[in-house]
Amino acid sequence: MSRPVALVTGASSGVGRACALGLAERGFDLAVAARRSDELDALARQLGDSCRVMIRCVDLHDPEETARVVPEVVDEFGRLDVLLNIAGIFDIAPLHEMSLGSLQRTLAINTIAPAILVREAWAALAAAPRGVVLNMSSLASIDPFPGAGAYGISKSAIEGLTRSVHVESLAAEAGIEAYSLAAGCIDTPMLRSVLGDIELPAGAEIPMDQFVGIAMDCIEGRRPEARGLPLFVVRDGFATLDSEEALEAIRVLWKA
Ligand SMILES: NC(=O)c1ccc[n+]([C@@H]2O[C@H](COP(=O)([O-])OP(=O)(O)OC[C@H]3O[C@@H](n4cnc5c(N)ncnc54)[C@H](OP(=O)(O)O)[C@@H]3O)[C@@H](O)[C@H]2O)c1
pLDDT at 1: 76
Name the closest-CA residue to atom 34, ligand 1. 34
Give me the residue spans of the domains in the chain. 5-254
Question: In terms of C-beta density within 10 A (0-12 exposed, 13-18 middle, 19 or more buried), how is residue 60 classed?
Answer: buried
Residue 101: what pLDDT? 97
| Helix, strand, coil percentages for the chain (3-state, nearest 5) | 50, 20, 30
- Degrees, nearest 5: CA angle 140-62-174: 70
pTM above 0.95, yes or no: yes
At residue 39, the pLDDT reads: 98
In ligand 1, the atom with minimum distance to the C-alpha of 10 is 43
Picking from 103, 108, 64, the residue whose alpha carbon sits closest to that of residue 87 is 108
User: Burial letters for 16-32: b for 16+ Cβ neighbours within 10 Å, e otherwise?
Assistant: bbbbbbbbbeeebbbbb
CATH topology assigned to domain 5-254: Rossmann fold (3.40.50)
Show pLDDT as tens, one digit a residue, over the chain (256 residues): 799 999 999 999 999 999 999 999 999 999 999 999 999 999 999 999 999 999 999 999 999 999 999 999 999 999 999 999 999 999 999 999 999 999 999 999 999 999 999 999 999 999 999 999 999 999 999 999 999 999 999 999 999 999 999 999 999 999 999 999 999 999 999 999 999 989 999 999 999 999 999 999 999 999 999 999 999 999 999 999 999 999 999 999 998 6
Residue with CA at minimum distance from ligand 1 atom 47: 88
DSSP H or E run through 232 = strand 230-235
Q: How far is CA 83 from CA 97, 117, 136, 168, 244, in A?
A: 34, 8, 11, 16, 29
The atom of ligand 1 lying closest to the CA of 184 is 5
* Interior angle at CA 103, CA 250 and CA 162, nearest 5: 60
pLDDT score of 256: 65
Torsion of the alpha carbons at 150, 182, 242 and 175, rounded to the nearest 10: 110
Instruction: For residue 172, report the distance from its CA to the centre of ligand 1, in Å.
Output: 32
Ligand 1 centroid distance, CA of 134 (Å): 14
